[in-house]
Structure 1
Amino acid sequence: MARRTSLLAHAVPAPTPPAASDDATAPSPAPAEKPAAARTGGKRPGKYHLGAYFDPADPSAEAFRVLAARTRRSHQELLAEAIADLVAKYDAERQFGRS
């Protein structure tokens, strides 16, 4: 089977390999420093991702999207409220917390 090429192959120039140096004692270039977001663990320092993937046709997922739109609240706000309710339902703060 023939290998397919990317549609962007003609629009993006191919990277050129670095020129070979005749001086074997020349220091190698320092690695590029990572952007601040990569060093702190993402775009939201001090926070972590908590989420899941759902089938778009799932009635609960659809109801969640409609609820977010009608209440003009973000998915993050709704999930935070749902998680707080779940923790309260199972009394998880007392059962699993530090107290």
Structure 2
Amino acid sequence: MAKRTSLLAPAMTPQSRPEAEQKNVSAPSAPPVNAARSSGKRPGKYHLGAYFDPADPTAEAFRVLAARTRRSHQDLLAEAISELVAKYEADKQFGRS
């Protein structure tokens, strides 16, 4: 199989080519990230969300609230979850005081 070269190869001078390409050695790849822990986009965080019917009045009110207050959905959800945990005293019920 023939080696594929970059479309920019003719335009690049030897000084501007990456060192790995000049030596015909590929750079070592990064170790794989555990997909169960992180999607890679936000290391150290996990997704918490739900899907709603676009016509759901609550979902529509949430979108309007976010727009009018100029706050992100993430910020509004964090506030709502915090208030829900406080309302049911979940932190105390599950051993965190």
> TM-score, with normalisation over the residues of structure 1?
0.60
Q: Distance in 1 between matches of 2:95 and 2:75?
A: 23
Question: Secondary structure at the residue paired with 2:45?
Answer: coil
Name 1:69's counterpart in structure 2: 67
Percent of residue pairs identical? 75
Shift of 1:74: 0.1
Output the CA distance in 1 between the equivalents of 2:85 and 2:51.
21
Matches within 5 A, 1:1-99: 33=29, 39=33, 41-42=38-39, 43-99=41-97
Q: Structure 1: which 5+ runs fail to align?
A: 1-17, 20-31
Structure 1 CA distance for aligned equivalents of residues 79 and 65 of structure 2: 13
Gaps of 5+ in 2: 3-27
Following TM superposition, the consecutive aligned residue runs of length 4 or more in structure 1 with deviations greater than 6 angstroms are none
Question: How many residues are matched?
Answer: 68
Normalising by the residue count of structure 2, what TM-score does the alignment of the two structures yield?
Answer: 0.61
> What is the Cα-based RMSD across aligned positions, in Å?
2.3
